[in-house]
Amino acid sequence: MYTHSFLLSCLSLIFLFSSLASAHLIEVPAGKKECFFEDLHVHDKMTVTYQVGDGGHLDIDFWLSDPTGKVLGKQIRQSTGQLAITAEKDGRHEYCFSNQMSAIADKMVSFNVHGVIYVTGDDVVAPIEREIRKLAAGLVSVKDEQEYIVVRERTHRNTAESTNSRVKWWSILQAIVLFSVVAWQVFYLKSFFEVKRVI
């Protein structure tokens, strides 16, 4: 009986951690903001991590506010960031990504939201359950790191492709200029050797 209830609680914990950690990729148009919300209870914990993967100077404004509209944290023109809170009030906590400082460039933002639901009596948790919670938190951390690496790889690949394209067009321009100068020099030197007749 004990193993059945223990197995059920372990599965529910794994489900809880997998449902509370979610990754998203959004596009924030120039001059706009995108807002999301989470319903939290007192003592619930929430962490939002984000990274700008494409667009402009790879920066974005981010803030998180409580149900009364009080700003709990704000980060201005950052390419990556993390903000963790512990809810002091029940209700809808809102977090926003703003690209209002840009008039031209849309931004691609990858973000993760992690949460820990506060459970009273945490000190009476079985040691194996405590270890499972640590393992689940470690797995979420590894998943976040992998997503961060994917976004960084995409950013570096875009930079390399852009540089390659510029080098290609610069080489083509240099070749055109070189052949133009060679043609002009041949024409100019040829004019020295022409015989001019006076009639």
Neighbours of 119 (CB within 10 A): 10
- Max mean pLDDT among 65-79, 110-124, 184-198 falls in 65-79
In terms of Cβ atoms closer than 10 Å to its own Cβ (0-12, 13-18, 19+), residue 55 is buried
Give the pLDDT confidence of 103-133 residue by residue, as tens digits: 888 999 989 888 766 555 555 667 887 788 7
Give the pLDDT confidence of 20-43 residue by residue, as tens digits: 445 688 999 999 999 999 989 888
Q: Does residue 132 come out as left (phi exceeding 0), alpha (psi in the -120 to 50 range) or beta?
A: alpha
